[in-house]
Amino acid sequence: MNGARALLETLKASGVEVCFANPGTSEMQLVAALDEVDGIRAVLGLFEGVVTGAADGYGRMADKPAVTLLHLGPGLANGLANLHNARRGGSPIVNLVGDHADYHLYLNSPLTSDIEGLARPVSDWVHRATSADDLAEAGAAAVAIAHEGAGRIATVIVPANHAWSGDAISAPPRPTDARATVAPDVIERAADALRNARMPCLFVGGRALREDAMLAAGRVATATGARIVCETFATRHQRGAGRVAVEKLPYFGEEAQAFLAEFDAIVYCGADAPVSFFAYPGKPSILAPDTALSVRLASKRQNHLHALSALADALGAPAETDRLQRAGTPPVEEGKLTPVNAGAIIAEMLPDDAIVSDEGATSSFAAFAQSAGAARHDWLQLTGGAIGQGLPVAIGAAIACPNRKVIALQADGSAMYTNQALWTMARERLDIVTILFNNRSYAILNIEMTRVGAQTPGPKAKAMLNLREPDIQWRTLAESMGVEATTATTTEEFRASLGRALARKGPVLIEAMI
């Protein structure tokens, strides 16, 4: 078999089931090989940001990597922003980036670029295959690396001649390392810190936000009186009624600083000490108080379930926690649609076991808070701050979990970045309800403009922050790509639209005019 087929056979044997792709000429051998290897689903994205963002969403929900198939350096470049997000969130992804045949590279034809240079800032591992056999070996290595420490980004550069040359053999799967456990003395230090504190905090993130680890965190809290606080932007937070309740660290630095001020001990598990998202003149970047004792129980990449269970046991915690979230959602103030009443309706109607892909920015803060006691669900957030992630992540989640409803909470400005995702939702008939919050502005920037100390914005500055003139017609835009859409301006309309969308399968967009 040729190198392309040997690579795909290797990936399949290593557990890869999905290839998100936007290929070109240099990847045609890999495209052809997709038909020769059963069991790898090929999903086309019409822009590479959709491809890499979908792989991120898939990795979050499947806990294993999909592969992306990208067209040389520029194709990779178009996917970098969502790879940045994926890497920040600790998602597992294997990128396959085609390149010219190795003997062709020195000729510097138009699409030649420094692929390694482009890949490194977002990859934990970059390898250029040196032969058809090496291509297969690289595939096996990439999958193993992608599994390391919950999730890494492995990028394999595929020179076209190694894909098309023959007589290669597939490589056996490699064992994936278990995540490192925490040493007993660290458990003891964390236990001491929580025991001796007046106001202890257990600060969690990463895979500590999965249901099983959170039950252990709840036991720790029950035993010590600690409050459980989570990072502002979580890769995958399993929450809802009956799961352990968690408080969210506020986004804005001043609020976060005030929130954390009262703690005299903070134990971190799966999250670093929080810092402000941006720097602001005269405002601190470090948010936790200097006076608090700080203990790192487990890094992002260690085994959080083990760490929290061992900590609970060390504290002699009861087997059950009293921190379970009660069911219930806030009342809805009916009338004109706002982020607050839309959020309450979403919380109230959220189906059991839903997946929420949240890139709602200022418009979904309310929905998150209000859904604490909603039906149990997974909440996926923008992990690296690079907007254009929400709709692609919804695609990947829907492909990883075809029997679960996906709700994409999406800000209009961010949605424009990767609006091509709507087409893939339609083609693959994915069960995604996109709630497009249309406020016709980069609303967060209107807030940030004053926070950075800039004067009252003039007309040119204001024009850079609003999305009016012309207003984007989101219903029409969705329909142009084959996604059914409605517009809601009142709670009544929104409730009716959401009810219809939840009652059926397949992609729908609801434009929420707020």
Touching a second copy, residues 249-278 (CB under 8 A): 272, 275-278
Site for a second copy in 310-369 (CB under 8 A): none
Site for a second copy in 10-39 (CB under 8 A): 21, 23-26, 28-29, 31-32, 34-36
Site for a second copy in 149-178 (CB under 8 A): 160-161, 164
98 or 218, CB closer to a second copy? 98
Site for a second copy in 205-224 (CB under 8 A): none
118 is a contact residue toward a second copy (CB under 8 A): yes
Site for a second copy in 368-397 (CB under 8 A): 383-386, 388
Instruction: Determine which residue in the list 479, 496, 505, 506 makes contact with a second copy, applying CB under 8 A.
Output: 479
The structure tokens listed for 449 are 């403009």
Site for a second copy in 405-434 (CB under 8 A): 413, 416-417, 419-420, 423, 426-427
290 is a contact residue toward a second copy (CB under 8 A): no
178 or 452, CB closer to a second copy? 452
Residue span binding a second copy (CB under 8 A) among the ranges 144-152, 213-221, 371-379, 465-473: 465-473
Sheet strands side by side (includes 354-359): 237-239, 377-381, 354-359, 406-411, 432-438, 508-513, 484-488
44 is a contact residue toward a second copy (CB under 8 A): yes
DSSP state of 272: P
Nearest-angstrom CA–CA distance, 12 and 10? 5
| Residue 219 · residue 194 · CB < 8 Å | no
222 or 257, CB closer to a second copy? 257
The structure tokens listed for 327 are 């069911």
285 is a contact residue toward a second copy (CB under 8 A): yes
Sheet strands side by side (includes 247-248): 247-248, 227-230, 200-204, 265-269, 293-298
| Residue 203 · residue 268 · CB < 8 Å | yes
Q: Helices 184-196 & 304-314, crossing angle to 10 degrees?
A: 60
Sheet strands side by side (includes 66-70): 41-44, 18-22, 66-70, 93-99, 153-159, 125-128
Backbone dihedral angles phi then psi of residue 462, each to the nearest 5 degrees = -60, -40
Collect all residues with Cβ–Cβ distance below 8 Å to 400 and sequence separation of at least 6. Answer: 18, 57, 58, 60, 61, 62
62 or 122, CB closer to a second copy? 122
183 or 461, CB closer to a second copy? 461
> Measured from the CB of residue 482, what is the shortest distance to a second copy in angstroms?
3
Count residues near a second copy (CB under 8 A): 99
Site for a second copy in 119-138 (CB under 8 A): 120-122
| Residue 260 · residue 233 · CB < 8 Å | no
294 is a contact residue toward a second copy (CB under 8 A): no
> Measured from the CB of residue 285, what is the shortest distance to a second copy in angstroms?
5
Site for a second copy in 48-67 (CB under 8 A): 49
480 is a contact residue toward a second copy (CB under 8 A): yes
What residue spans of 304-411 are helical by DSSP H? Answer: 304-314, 339-349, 365-370, 390-400
104 is a contact residue toward a second copy (CB under 8 A): yes
454 is a contact residue toward a second copy (CB under 8 A): yes
Paired with 275 in beta bridges are 286
